[in-house]
Structure 1
Amino acid sequence: MRTRLSICRRKARYASEADARAAASAAPFVLLPYACDRCGRFHLTSRTKGKRTAPAQRS
């Protein structure tokens, strides 16, 4: 699915997937990084339907 330009402009942009993953790990809910086809950088999304997520880690 193509990212709308108005959405891209509102979201935080990360230079690398690693930077986006680091920001996602600090969030209190599941966020996934994705490469934006508009700006060429990475954004975070909370949409997880049909996508693989990492299994929950046990303490």
Structure 2
Amino acid sequence: MRTRASICARKARYASAAEAMEAGRASGLVLRAYRCDRCGRFHSTSRTKGKWVPLDAG
């Protein structure tokens, strides 16, 4: 599913998936990083429906 431009504009942008995941950890939320098909950068989301979720190594 393509990211809507209005959603992309409201979200924080990160240069790497690691940066996006670190921001999620710092907030205390369970978030997943994904590459945006609009801006090419990474965003965070809490949605996991139909997505592969990596096992937590920690």
Flag whether TM exceeds 0.5 (same fold).
yes
- Hey, what does 1:33 align to over in structure 2? 33
**CA shift digits 1:19-58 (9 cap, x unpaired):** 1111111222211000000000000011011223344577
Secondary structure class of the residue paired with 1:23: helix
Matched, 1:49 2:49: yes
Letter in 2 for 1:41: R
Whole-angstrom distance in 2 between the partners of 1:43 and 1:18: 11
Q: Which runs of 5+ in 1 are unaligned?
A: none
RMSD: 1.8
Q: Which runs of 5+ in 2 are unaligned?
A: none
Runs of 4 or more above 3 Å deviation: 54-58
Number of aligned residue pairs: give it.
58
Secondary structure class of the residue paired with 2:27: coil
Q: Percent identical across equivalent pairs?
A: 62
TM-score by length of 2: 0.82
Aligned counterparts, 1:5-24, within 5 A? 5-24=5-24
